[in-house]
Structure formats: structure tokens, C-alpha cells
Amino acid sequence: MADDISVLVVDDSALMRNLISKMIEATDGLSVADTAMNGKFALQKLEKHDPDVIVLDLEMPEMNGIEFLRERKKRGIRIPVIILSSIAEKGAAVTMEALGLGASDFVQKPSGSISFDISTVKERVSELLLAYGGKYRRFNKKVSAPDISAGIRPVTADKTTAFRKPGGVSLSTFASDLGITVSPSAQKITPVRSTGKIEVIAIGISTGGPEALRVVFSNLDPDLKVPILVVQHMPPGFTHEFAISLNKICPLDVKEAEEGDEVIPGRILIAQGDKHLEVVRNGVNIVANLSKSPQVSGHRPSADVLFASVAVVYTNHALGVIMTGMGKDGAHQLGNIYREGGLTIGQDENSAIVYGMPRVAYELGHVMEQVSLENMGKRISAIAKTSRL
């Protein structure tokens, strides 16, 4: 249909092209623009069809996925790319290379390059195609696209809406270049203490995160002396290479969190896939604790788990950040950081690939400011340095 998000499927296997195409056509709001057997043919199909999003295999003859992404970048093509490849299972570094070259996100084929059970990843693939394809249509083609933020009603408050935070300090006026929106319902929470010096930053993020974190981390102040903890929903086996890839573009040290890692200034810890990340006190130190306890808010790692532990350990010395993602993980426990006297910010609707998690938090009154992705790194750095909004 004309209103559907159009998808270009690129895979060297005719069987896989057929299976993936059927999966896409079975999803409301998606349709297949065309298929291609490698990157070379994909470039030709782009000129003919101008799709909204691309599904890309990495292992292909003549021009593989990495080579296609390099050429895409060289030509300035902005159509988002979702990696769907078996190589992701045995080569996380290659997948991260693809993300570094501009791919938006990735999904593992469940069982090898010829995957007859591809339907097991239908929900995840469809979610990503709707999210990234929809965003591309809205901002590059000026065409409406379905809202997939889990059926949550849109925010209607405008950027000039004002409220007064505890202590009588007005938050009604913000610099326009920061892209900040004030939550009209944030006065519902009354912090139990005044905000202290910010000693930790906790970030919860999901769909759209790999791309967004690259933007945020590259814009952090090199002199930032506050530790950062991140929950990014990602499968096990990938977060180690993900941290390495982020470390290459971030002025601070980035690593995958390990049990007992000290939470120290200038270090960013990324939660391991399939393990919750919490902070605990160990004598005079604060360290990372990893666990395989049950999923929370449908996820492990869960942003809610991280935020809850940060609120307990750091009380009014924390900055909580909730960013792009489907669903509501992190939205509830972000409020505990606020109640303890910490500060909270969320990504705004225009810049979020999926305005789900930050929307729920905002409408609960748990987000004190909304900030664009472009300005998020600088805003985080400024708040951490001044300990105020």
C-alpha cells in the first residue's frame, strides 16, 4: 500500500529473500519495495525505489554488507539500515563495525545463513523496521507513519509549559538551542531532600540506542568527572564489542561492566546482555553488581533495576536519563531518583526513534526536562558539572 513503510531486502539467498519478504508483508504497515542479492544490486534498487528502510545481510558475494555500508556512507545515502545476519552470532565485532559505518541496529538470524525459523525474530525485525522506517518517512519524506510507541497517547504540552520545582526555582525558561521541554506534571513528586552534587549518571535506553549512544558519547565533555552507567537492551555476546566500539568515539573510558567493577569518575560501564546491572556499596567503594535474576519490565538488563539501585545508593547525588525505546522500562524507577532529590531528564519526541520509554516517564511526571538527542551529551555534561537544571 502507498502508506506502508517500504523495505528493501538484501540477502544473497533466494530462499531467505523470500522468507524475509513474506514476514514483512505479513506485518501491518510494512511492504517490500524490492529485493537484491548483494550490495551492488541494492545500490541500483535504491535509485529505482527509494525505500524507507533496508534489511541487510552481511555475508554476500561481490559486495558484502560492510562494503555496501561504506559505499552508502560515501554517497551520502541516509536510508536507515537494519542488519539481519547470521554473522552477528559468530562475529560481534563485525556487527559493531557495521553500526560504526552507519547501520542503525541489528537482529541475529536465529540459526545460520539459511534460517527456516526466521519467523521467531519477526516481532523484533518488524519493530525496528517500523521504528526506523517511520522516522525516515516523517523527517525526510514528510509523510506520516504509524506511531509504534506501544499505544501510548501523545504528549500535548508545548515547550513553554512551566512548573515550579521544589525550592521555588522556576524552570519555565530554557535556552532554545538546548531543545528542552518541561514536564507539566513533574510537580506531582516532592523530593525528600534537595539535590546534592551529582556523583553518578544512569542512562536507560533501548530501540534506537546503538545509534543514539554514539551521538551522546561523542559529545560528552572530555573533562566530565562523573561515572556513567548504561542499560542498553542488547543480546548477550554483543555488549563487550559494543563497549569497545563506543570507546573509540568517546572521550571517556567505556567498558562492558564486570562483577565488582568500581564505579569511578571518567568511566562508563555498559550493562552486559542478559544480566541486570546494579550498584552496591562495598566498604568505602561503590561497585557494579551483575545478576541473572528474573526480567523486570520485560527486560534483562532492565533500566528500572539500575535506576532503583542508583536511587538507593546515591540518593540525591544522581542524574537519571531515559532515552529512546519501546515500552516503559525505566519509566517507573526514574521517579525514585527524582523523589530522592536527584535530577532527571528524558529524550524528546522529535529525536527519539521510538518515543515509548521517555514518553511514559514524562507523562508520569518523572522527567524534569526533555532534551533533543543532538544536545543530550552537552546537556548531561553541563548538569553533571553544575548539579542543577
CATH code at position 111 = 3.40.50.2300
Looking at the fold, whether 244 and 366 belong to one and the same domain comes out as yes
The three three-digit cell numbers of residue 15, written as one number: 530462499
Domain contains 150:
no
Distance of alpha carbon 307 from alpha carbon 275, whole angstroms: 15
Looking at the fold, whether 63 and 198 belong to one and the same domain comes out as no
Looking at the fold, whether 319 and 368 belong to one and the same domain comes out as yes
Single out the residue of 195, 201, 186, 150 nearest to residue 335, CA to CA: 186
Domain contains 151:
no
Looking at the fold, whether 351 and 204 belong to one and the same domain comes out as yes
| Residues 323 and 347 sit within 8 Å (Cβ to Cβ) | yes
End position of a domain, from candidates 141, 175, 200: 141
pLDDT at 114: 62
Q: What is the DSSP string of 224-252?
A: --S-EEEEE---TTSHHHHHHHHHTT-SS
End position of a domain, from candidates 77, 110, 141: 141
Domain contains 206:
yes
Domain encompassing residue 185: 164-386
Length in residues, the chain: 389
pLDDT along the chain (389 residues), means of 10: 90 95 96 98 95 96 97 97 78 91 92 72 95 92 63 34 31 38 61 97 97 97 97 93 96 98 97 98 96 96 98 98 97 98 97 97 97 98 96
Distance of alpha carbon 130 from alpha carbon 53, whole angstroms: 9
Looking at the fold, whether 178 and 91 belong to one and the same domain comes out as no
Q: Structurally, how many domains does the chain consist of?
A: 2
CATH code at position 236 = 3.40.50.180
Looking at the fold, whether 311 and 367 belong to one and the same domain comes out as yes
Domain contains 39:
yes
CA distance readout (Å), 27 to 57, 122, 126: 20, 9, 7
pLDDT at 142: 64
Looking at the fold, whether 338 and 230 belong to one and the same domain comes out as yes
Domain contains 157:
no
Q: What is the DSSP string of 24-86?
A: HHTSTTEEEEEEESSHHHHHHHHHHH--SEEEE-S--SSS-HHHHHHHHHHHT----EEEEET
Looking at the fold, whether 169 and 104 belong to one and the same domain comes out as no
| Residues 254 and 270 sit within 8 Å (Cβ to Cβ) | yes
Distance of alpha carbon 332 from alpha carbon 303, whole angstroms: 10
Looking at the fold, whether 200 and 241 belong to one and the same domain comes out as yes
Looking at the fold, whether 236 and 345 belong to one and the same domain comes out as yes
Q: Is 185 exposed, middle or buried (0-12, 13-18, 19+ CB in 10 A)?
A: middle
Half-sphere exposure of 383 (CA within 13 A, CB side): 26
Domain contains 342:
yes
Return the DSSP state at 206: -
Residue whose grid cell is 537484491: 36
Looking at the fold, whether 335 and 207 belong to one and the same domain comes out as yes
pLDDT at 321: 98
Catalytic residues: 206, 233, 329
Domain contains 285:
yes
Looking at the fold, whether 232 and 131 belong to one and the same domain comes out as no
